[in-house]
Amino acid sequence: MSLGAFYQYYFYAIWLLWIIFWLALARNVKVTVRRHAALPRLLNLALLYGAAALLAGPFAPVPWLTGRVLPSSQWKIWCALGAALTLLGMLCALWARICLGRNWSSVAAVKDDHELVTGGPYRWVRHPIYAGLTLGFVGTAVAIGQWRGVLALALSLIAIAQRILVEERFMRQQFGTVYDVYAQRVRALVPGLV
């Protein structure tokens, strides 16, 4: 098997394994009391699925999307860096998901008897699942090195930023000043920065 084929299978495998674990962990969650409205939620999912579709296949609806952003002469470096970032991002997102336990929801929501989780990766960022997903999208986009990766990253960042805004509002409504204190101490997405 060539190195190029290995990396292609690696990225499909890492995202597929992440999805399988994600679906397995989605069982046995608390009952949802309040969730993000349906239309904005569907638009958000469309952005994320669009980003995933751009990263998943070598096709592109517009020819310039397959143009190189990163030099193809150094593709091994970009693939190795992208592979490491993607794996790190997926592991971070899974760790955060495990720490959320039964409080998790696939959409911005408040659960029955919702608990504010501040341990694990939540010590460093308020939204480590989104931080991990962002890192995964960055890693995969770097490995691809094409404009479709840049577009996919932009779409995913718009979707993630929108989700963060909704979740922040829900958490402030649910936990009040306790969440405000937590938010002052812990950054939203990148430790020490954002």
Q: What type of residue is 174?
A: Q
Residue 194 lies in a domain: no
- pLDDT recorded at residue 3: 72
Domain that holds residue 133: 3-185
Residue 166 lies in a domain: yes
Count the domains in the chain. Answer: 1
pLDDT tens sequence across 154-179: 999 999 999 999 999 999 999 999 99
As a whole number of Å, the CA-based R_g of the chain is 18
Residue 190 lies in a domain: no
Residue 113 lies in a domain: yes
pTM of the model: 0.92
Geometric angle at alpha carbon 125, from 107 and 175, rounded to 5°: 60
- pLDDT recorded at residue 90: 96
Residue 193 lies in a domain: no
Looking up residue 34, the CATH number of its domain turns out to be: 1.20.120.1630
The whole-number average pLDDT for the span 109-116 is 87
Residue 146 lies in a domain: yes
String of b and e for 155-184 (b: at least 16 CB within 10 Å)?
A: bbbebbebbbebbbebbeebbeeebeeeee
- pLDDT recorded at residue 30: 84
Residue 191 lies in a domain: no
pLDDT beyond 90 at 35: no
- pLDDT recorded at residue 1: 65
pLDDT beyond 90 at 34: no
DSSP 31: P
